Amino acid sequence: MRRSHRTWLAILSASLVPATAAHAQSSLTLYGVVDAGIYRLARGATSIGNIQRSYWGIKGSEDLGSGYAAMFHLQSRFEIDTGRLEASGGAPLFYGESTVGVKGPFGQLRLGRAMTPMWALDWQFDPWYNFDRVASIAWQIYHPAYRTDPYRNGPAGDYNRANNGVFYDSPVARGWSVHLAANGERSKVPDANGTVESKRGLAAGINYDDGSATLLVSAERNSVNDKTYFVGLAYGSGPTRVMASASLTELTTASQVFLGEARRRRTSAMLAATHRIGAATLKIGVGRDFQGYGRSGATDYVSAGVSYALSRRTQVYAGVGHGRPSNDGSRTNVGMGVNHSF
């Protein structure tokens, strides 16, 4: 007997109902940002490429019942001008994050590779979210010379993410939350200076956010016993938001030699603000690296920029950043670009 198209459609629809119901408590999200601009850094050549970051990611979760859920997060970063992985293909496929874990009433616990609490939260105190190579002062001065994971992802190590890590985020209670991280493995292979990982990297942060005021106090120690500390404060419930932050880094002698740093203690501070006018956001910041990198000496920074939202997901922007080291010539970055999120 030949059945009509309507009959087959009814059968197919009925067969899909149980599958849909079975997966109703699971979720899968594809997201990302595509950014491109024209920029010039210091006295270099004019370039086309990422000013902010371009990345894509997949996040998923499955309800386990009783308020618990399994979850995973994979994020990859790429260069918009070539399509290659960031760092000319030298970075891992999932450089941004690769974790799996469980969340519930206790908070969430993840295993894998991710940002430590300090780096995951310090963007709250920079108008450019520590994410703009032209204008972000935080890009230049936050946690100077510190490496979260000294032995992985390149000859100098990784500055803000930890491999083989355990990451914990508490529930938010009256605006307060606690964030912890630890490295799960130590390498006994010496680097070029004969140094090995003597400790497990540890990190902690306490964050407060009530929608108007934001506060972060954070500390971190890496596997070769370098330490860094950070405090940030931001306030603004209307169109204007003011931000202040300061950081301190203490290097071991071995890290000083490896990085070519003349000073054991590195300190920096920044004051910044944003102001919204309709779809436009004005940004300004000043900062100081009190010792500077290498022999450049104390370095002052000033940046300004504007972004304009064409839609909820697309913005155009322009910025300028100027640095003046005490022992070297000044340098200026300029750039403009477009950014789309999905």
DSSP 4: P
- Residue at token pair 């990085």: 259
Q: Do residues 72 and 60 touch, judged by C-beta distance below 8 A?
A: yes
Q: What are the φ and ψ backbone dihedral angles of 117, each rounded to 5 degrees?
A: -55, -40
- Residue at token pair 């997966």: 23
Residue type, 195: T
- Residue at token pair 């890590």: 165
Rg, the chain, Cα only = 23
pLDDT given for residue 2 in this prediction: 44
pLDDT given for residue 203 in this prediction: 98
Q: What angle do CA 164, 91, 268 make, to 5 degrees?
A: 80
CB atoms closer than 10 angstroms to residue 206: 16
pLDDT given for residue 209 in this prediction: 98
The pLDDT averaged over each successive group of 10 residues in the chain (342 residues) is 44 41 75 98 92 96 97 97 84 94 98 97 97 95 91 79 95 98 78 72 97 98 95 96 98 89 94 98 98 91 98 98 94 97 96
Q: Which residues contact 129 (CB under 8 A, 6 or more apart)?
A: 123, 136
Could you tell me the two tokens for 22? 């079975």
Residue type, 139: W
Instruction: Identify the three-state secondary structure at position 292.
Output: coil
pLDDT given for residue 191 in this prediction: 62
pLDDT given for residue 213 in this prediction: 98
pLDDT given for residue 14 in this prediction: 43
pLDDT given for residue 4 in this prediction: 47
